[in-house]
Chains A and B, each alone.
Chain A
Amino acid sequence: MVDVREIKTVEHDVLIIGAGGAGLRAAIECSNAGLDTAVLTKSLLGKAHTVMAEGGMAAAMGNVDPRDNWKVHFRDTMRGGKFLNQWRMAELHAKQAPDRVRELEEWGAVFDRTPDGLINQRNFGGHRFPRLAHVGDRTGLELIRTLQDHAVHKGRLQVYMECKALRLLKDGDRMAGCVAVWRETGRFLIVRAKAVIMATGGGGRAWRVTSNSWEYSGDGLTMAYDAGAELMDVEFTQFHPTGMVWPPSVRGTLVTEGVRGEGGILKNNKGERFMFRYIPERFAPETADTEEEAARWLAGDKNARRPPELLTRDVVARAIKAEVEAGRGSPHGGAFLDIASQRTAEDIKRKLPSMYHQFKELAELDITKEPMEVGPTLHYFMGGIRVDPDTQASTTVPGLFACGEAAAGLHGANRLGGNSLSDLIVFGRLAGLGAADYIKGVSELPALDEDQVRDAIRWATSFLNRESGENPYVIHEDLQELMQTKVGIIRNATELSQALEGIAELRKRAENAKAHAASQYNPGWHEAMDLHSLLTTAEAVARAALTREESRGAHTREDFEGEREEWGKVNIVLRKLDDGSMEVRKLERDEPPEELAKIAFATIEDLEAGRV
């Protein structure tokens, strides 16, 4: 029997789980509001997945092309998301991103500059104008270091490093904190708080080929779901078109879209620039249809249309897969991404330094001389915890908030590159404000239910205590194989059903996983605990994907081709029922405000001429 009083307990106003861009931005806002703020991170500070973001953060500042403004950014985001985004979130994001980027500069960020000394902006897929504030190809590192260095000087802000949240605690319906475990000592920690903000990212580690780090085990989504939160849009998992494909040990590692933003082109093994054959009707009026026009665009001709390599990620990923399946792939099953023929070696090293090093050191390939081999890699969850657009509050659990990749709504069916980093800082701040506002109405710390703590600890220690059981690494590998083959880029009902059966089998095995040795810094134990999150996330994706009988954005069903009008009117929402099963329901979308609908559906000519 666990004596709860012997477990170290700390008390804060607000608990933020996750210390990436969203978590740190939320923490800064909470601290500004005078709240006693705790940040829990399962890694060291500054190592979160945000560091891997490369290309930039999208904000319509108009520093490079003055024609840009929030309306165009909003329209791009809605079109990229195939109109399944939450209208209000896309509006808030487009309007507020420029201020958030400028604020980073006031906190010490050093972005690349325009000739007249302002923040430079680069082109990216799906963005009409050069819009991504960037630092070479390491923008995520700049973001996280800026927030980190700013946050550590904030008052009443405590960071708990290498401390992993296990389960959310509730007092009745509302949030009361969490049970966590220190990785170093294996000791448990109870964090009591009036509000909890989930900034835990996504769940890409359920797939074999992924750009995601080990942290992306879906534990934030799962903890929230287990506590009664709704998940939404989880069928939309983004496969980034350009991951490394060779050598095998780095398969999936990200190759920034910045390569294409800087002019990189995609070719098949016949030397054909195949993207011209995959331009969707919706984007045809705004996409170059000859190599000559694409070249003029790269040279800076403002009347030329964008090259098809800069179509949205869903389109490019499917195109590469189709080329490979038609036998026109590169030697290791990808496509050729060529920047060497488009830019000088000096330019490449200056604008894409970490790509240059990554290929040099991991693949022994000089990208200034030879093309890269690339293929799709699971990169991002558009879906997540369903929240109120303005406050980021969970729709069902009072006191629970979510922001960044852990929250759903901004990106709809497909995220534009560059909209993630801006998402973190816009909605991280709003979640902080939302939590601060909520806490005004909570006078006392919610009660601690010792049974919930005991239950969580009993579960966690069961993996260590049982006599024998299966190796958790093997179960994880089997899940990755299952998701890779059955819940991939192209899906169908048969395979998705098989995936669900497979997940149910794996669940039984996961419950009997065994972690050897003691609890101090034991990765095997954490792997065993992560299986619950990985499997819950995988099940959510598979169920939602099976339900959505159409192809839209990142979700492609070969048995239901094309977008279907009726499916454009609903989002898929999941919730845990009392019997433990997963409820799937279609949620009717609200009619958009007239003003926003006009902007989103306007022709680009009308929008640019100010007729909207």
Chain B
Amino acid sequence: MSKRTFRVWRGDAEGGRFVEYNVEVGPGMVILDALHRIQAEQSPDLAVRWNCKAGKCGSCSMEVNGKPRLSCMTRISDYEPEQIITVQPLKTFPIIRDLVTDVSWNFEQNKRIPPFRPKAPGPDGKLRMWQEDVDRIQEFRKCIECFLCQDVCHVLRDHEKKQNFVGPRFIMRIASLEMHPLDTVDRIPQTLREFGSGWCNITRCCTEVCPEHINITDNAIIPTKERVVDRFYDPVAMLTRKIRGEDPARAREEGKVP
């Protein structure tokens, strides 16, 4: 056991400050353990959101030394012994209290995405999908909705374009539906016009912070942007449509676009 110093942000929407705590640290301890120890021994009212403490629920997201992290999966021993560890709430979302932010905006975005609507089953009454066809969406479905990718996304974090862009989490959610072998809904026009896929300029910060190691940028965002581009910005297709007076979204619905 040894003592370590933590600087923890305390406050609410009105403002706050960093408070220093000295905590006994044992082998294998993670940041969330230290916060629990502070609650039990020094400040029982320290607000922390957490559930599973096993990296599976995505509740305990916060910023540790400036980096978005799951506090339950961040080992204290990863930091130099003399280093002070600074813990603060996610920057992109409004503060409720101490380390807890209001992430309800994310839940609102999810509701906007048209839900899954499956094909009819095959002649034997069964739905069939092949493993190689679902591998890529299973990667997206590993998402635990910790919203670290949303926190680090420049469009949301620095430019505050929440009204324009749903963020990497939900572009990936759209990708998981669009690439679902059984899905029948077309979300591509909305992805461009309402969900703001064009705002992402592929800095890959979302991929870097993902605790599930999902390759959000290369596997979800870029292919989704490509689908948008193919539909709306392919010059040959655009010219053809102009001559024929077609609306791409309607064309898709009528089955003219594969």
Contact = CB atoms under 8 A, between A and B. Distances in A.
A530 to B, nearest CB: 13
B140 to A, nearest CB: 9
Interface string A142-168: 100100011011000000010000000
A97 B103 CA distance: 35
B137 A110 contact: yes
A55 B89 CA distance: 33
Nearest to B12: A520
A44 interface: yes
Nearest to A527: B44
B179 to A, nearest CB: 10
Interface stretch (B53-61, B155-163, B241-249): B53-61
Contacts of B26: 247-249
B138 interface: yes
B115 A135 contact: no
A368 B100 CA distance: 37
Contact of A110 (B51, B53, B107, B129): B129
Contact of A152 (B12, B97, B102, B110): B110
Given A108-B116, A471-B44, A250 B28 contact: yes
A474 interface: yes
A517 B40 contact: no
Nearest to A250: B28
A325 interface: no
A523 B115 contact: no
- Interface hub of B96, B103, B138, B213 (most chain A Cβ within 10 A): B138
A247 B29 contact: yes
Given A44-B59, A249-B29, A523 B46 contact: yes
B83 interface: no
Contacts of B126: 118
A535 B104 CA distance: 33
B127 interface: yes
Contact of B55 (A44, A48, A361): A361
Contacts of B44: 471-473, 515-517, 523-524, 527
B134 A362 contact: no
B238 interface: no
Contacts of A524: 39, 44-45
A36 B48 CA distance: 33
Interface in B103-118: 103-104, 107, 110-111, 115-116, 118
A186 to B, nearest CB: 10
A524 B40 CA distance: 9
Given A110-B137, A110-B141, A523-B45, A246 B28 contact: yes
Contact of B128 (A44, A118, A149): A118
Given A47-B59, A135-B141, A249-B28, A213 B52 contact: yes
Contacts, number: 167
A136 B30 contact: no
**What's the interface size class on B, roughly?**
35 or more
B56 A113 contact: no
A105 B182 CA distance: 10
B253 to A, nearest CB: 20
A230 interface: no
A236 interface: no
B216 to A, nearest CB: 16
A142 B56 CA distance: 11
Interface string A325-362: 00000000000000000000000000001100110011
Contacts of A106: 118, 127
Contact of A358 (B55, B96, B104, B128): B55
A149 B111 CA distance: 8
A121 B12 CA distance: 48
B178 interface: no
Interface in A344-393: 353-354, 357-358, 361-363
B141 A249 contact: no
A601 interface: no
B129 A117 contact: yes
A113 B47 contact: no
Nearest to B97: A521
A515 B45 contact: yes
Interface in A108-143: 108, 110, 112-113, 116-118, 135-136, 138, 140-142
A471 to B, nearest CB: 6
A278 to B, nearest CB: 28
Interface string A514-537: 011110111111010000000000
Nearest to B104: A161
Given A246-B28, A247-B27, A51 B56 contact: yes
A52 interface: yes
A527 B45 CA distance: 10
A522 B97 CA distance: 9
Contacts of B177: 108
Interface in B39-85: 39-41, 44-59, 73, 75
Interface in A36-62: 43-49, 51-52
A109 to B, nearest CB: 9
Contacts of A471: 40, 44
17 contacts: A44-B49, A47-B51, A47-B52, A52-B56, A135-B138, A138-B56, A145-B141, A153-B111, A213-B53, A215-B51, A249-B33, A515-B45, A517-B44, A520-B12, A520-B96, A520-B97, A524-B44
Given A44-B59, A361-B55, A522-B47, 15 more contacts: A43-B51, A46-B57, A48-B51, A52-B54, A105-B118, A112-B138, A153-B115, A215-B51, A254-B54, A354-B55, A362-B30, A472-B44, A516-B45, A523-B45, A525-B45
10 tightest Cβ-Cβ pairs between the two chains A and B: A247-B28, A524-B44, A117-B128, A108-B116, A517-B45, A473-B40, A521-B97, A521-B47, A113-B131, A47-B57
Interface of B: 12, 26-30, 33, 39-41, 44-59, 73, 75, 96-98, 100, 102-104, 107, 110-111, 115-116, 118, 126-131, 134, 137-138, 141-145, 177, 180, 183, 213
